[in-house]
Structure 1
Amino acid sequence: MKSTLDLNWTGKMSFETEMNGHKVILDADPSVGGEDKGVRPKPLMLLSLAGCTAMDVISILRKMRVDVDDFNVRVEADMTEEHPKHYTKMHVIYTFKGKDLPKDKIEKAVSLSDEKYCGVSAVYRKALELTHEIRLED
């Protein structure tokens, strides 16, 4: 299966693309010639990981008939100081809220996403340290 993406320059340091029918704008900080019209590319890596695993986990929990009141995925990342600046570690924090949440099923859903289903995790794991933790709240 092949994927393609076209990124079009819209002036200065701004670029635009369409993904799944949605416009995405990238731009740089004004300190490097941008106009802050859009997101920066590297933080999208964090979003890709968070989105991929979050969708997996919710899908798996639904199949397990586990209902959560609220769910949040936070990705914390360490980046090098020198060029080429890149992430060296990402830590995913899964926070679930609800009454009497089944810890075993939640751990299973997170593990399945991390080890089997999330393609973003699979690629990132080859390039950087990837860890996670689960927090359960009432």
Structure 2
Amino acid sequence: MTITVNRDRGHKMRHTVSVRQHRISADEGAAVGGEDLGVTPHELYDSALGTCKAMTVLWYAHRKGMPLEDVSATVDRDDSQERQGTYRLRVTLTLGGPLLTDAQRRELLAVAEKCPVHKLMTQVTTEITTELASAAP
């Protein structure tokens, strides 16, 4: 899969992220030269974790026949020590369903800890290669 990121030249820093047929606006806040016309790259990263946890819990609950009616995730970031090598994310899950037992809620929390993006962020070595495209003639 290829994701493309293209500058919107009508704005200072705004870019359009294209994933399959979907479009996401990305920008920075005014404090760093943007116009706040979209989510920041850090917000995209953080939201991937919350989204993955919520979707993983929903998928698992449906698969196991659990009475989960709704799920939402809130992601809070502490980037105060990012430059020193520590980036903290706290995800709070809200599970809806009056028939969920305490044991099922604990099981769903354990499942959330194993979502694929959580694993990517904490257990996998990511190798990144950045290169320039060939110059146009």
> 1:101 corresponds to which residue?
100
Q: Are 2:124 and 1:124 equivalent residues in the alignment?
A: no
The whole-number CA distance in structure 2 between the counterparts of 1:20 and 1:102 is: 39
The aligned runs of 1:14-93 (5 Å cut-off) are 14-80=14-80, 84=83, 88-93=87-92
The whole-number CA distance in structure 2 between the counterparts of 1:70 and 1:25 is: 27
Instruction: Report the CA distance shift for 1:72/1:85 in structure 2 as closer, same or farther (over 3 A).
Output: farther
Could you state the TM-score of these two structures normalised by the residue count of structure 1?
0.74
Q: Which runs of 5 or more residues in structure 2 are unaligned?
A: 125-137
Instruction: Report the CA distance shift for 1:95/1:41 in structure 2 as closer, same or farther (over 3 A).
Output: same
The whole-number CA distance in structure 2 between the counterparts of 1:24 and 1:32 is: 20
Bigger relative contact order, structure 1 or 2, given CA contacts below 8 A and separation 6+? Answer: 1
Could you state the TM-score of these two structures normalised by the residue count of structure 2?
0.75
CA RMSD between the two structures: 2.3
Identity %: 25
Which deviates further from its counterpart, 10-19 or 67-76? 67-76
Q: Where do 4+ consecutive residues of structure 1 move more than 3 Å?
A: 84-87
Q: Verify the 8 A CA contact 1:78 1:88 in the aligned structure 2.
A: yes
Aligned residues: 122
Instruction: Report the CA distance shift for 1:85/1:40 in structure 2 as closer, same or farther (over 3 A).
Output: farther
The whole-number CA distance in structure 2 between the counterparts of 1:91 and 1:111 is: 15
Give the number of the structure whose alpha-carbon radius of gyration is greater. 2
Q: Which runs of 5 or more residues in structure 1 are unaligned?
A: 128-138
The whole-number CA distance in structure 1 between the counterparts of 2:80 and 2:67 is: 39
Q: Verify the 8 A CA contact 1:16 1:26 in the aligned structure 2.
A: yes
Per-residue deviation at 1:64? 1.6
The whole-number CA distance in structure 2 between the counterparts of 1:81 and 1:112 is: 28
